[in-house]
Amino acid sequence: MDRLRPVDPPHKGIRNAFSQVSLLAGRTDFADPEQVRQLQAAASELFTVLRDHKNQEDTFIFSPLDQRVPGATDDERAQHVLRHAELDALESALASFDGTQTNDEGHSFVLGLSGFHGRYLIHMESEEAHAEPLFLEHVTDEEMAADQGAIMAQMPFETLLLWFKYIVPARRIADNRQVLAGFTSAAPPEAVAAAMEVLASVETPERLQAMTENL
C-alpha cells in the first residue's frame, strides 16, 4: 500500500501556482495599471500559500522529525529563511508597481521572479528527496492523518480555498476524491458550496464530476 506523502499535495499546488504567476508575469505590460493589478492579485495568492506551507512544514514535519532525529532538518530550515527573504523582497517590489513603470523595470521583476521560482523548485526537490523520506521512516500514517486534520482545522478558510484552487487541478482524480470525501462529510454545507465553486472555476467538468460524484 502506498504511504501518505505529506509534502506531495502542497508541492504540486505550489508548482501549479508558480507556473501560473510566472506565465502571467512574462506577458504583463507593466505600463498598464489593470494588468499590473492582475499580476499583483495572482502573486498575492502564491505568496499566501508559500507562507502557509512554510508554517505547516515547520510545525508538522520539521519539528516532529527533529525531535526524533536531532538536526535532521537544519538544511531545510536554513533554506526556508533564504527563500522567504527573497519572497519578502519580491512582494515589496511588486507592491510598489502601479502601472506607470517601464517594461524594463518590469523585466527586472520578471527576472527576479524567475530566479526565485527556480530556486524554490530546487528547494522542494531537496525536501522530497531528503526530509520527506526520513520523515516517513519515523512517523506512521495514522500520525500523519491526525496532522492533516489538525492542519485543516486551524487553517483560515480563505487559505484552504486557495489550496483547493491550486492543489486539486495538479493531482490525480483518485487522490482528490479521498480528500474531498473527508472534507464534504465534515465541513458545513456553506463551506462545501464555496469549495465547489472554486473547483468549478479551475477544473474541467469531466474531472470535477469524477472526483465528486456520489460523495
Which of 110, 111, 58 is CA-nearest to residue 84?
Answer: 58
The answer to the question of residue 206 being in a domain is no
What cell was used for 124? 522542494
Provide the residue range defining the domain that includes 43.
8-140
The answer to the question of residue 114 being in a domain is yes
Domain count for the chain: 1
The answer to the question of residue 3 being in a domain is no
Q: What are phi and psi of 213, to 5 degrees?
A: -60, 130
**Cell 537544519, located at residue:** 74
The answer to the question of residue 189 being in a domain is no
| Global pTM value | 0.95
Q: What is the pLDDT of residues 102-117, one digit of tens each?
A: 999 999 999 999 999 9
Q: Are 215 and 181 a contacting pair, CB within 8 Å?
A: yes
Q: What is the pLDDT of residues 120-172, one digit of tens each?
A: 999 999 999 999 999 999 999 888 888 887 888 889 999 999 999 999 999 99
The answer to the question of residue 29 being in a domain is yes
What cell was used for 82? 533564504
What cell was used for 170? 495538479
Q: Is 214 helix (H, G, I), strand (E, B) or coil?
A: coil
Distance separating alpha carbons of residues 213 and 215, to the nearest angstrom: 6
The answer to the question of residue 161 being in a domain is no
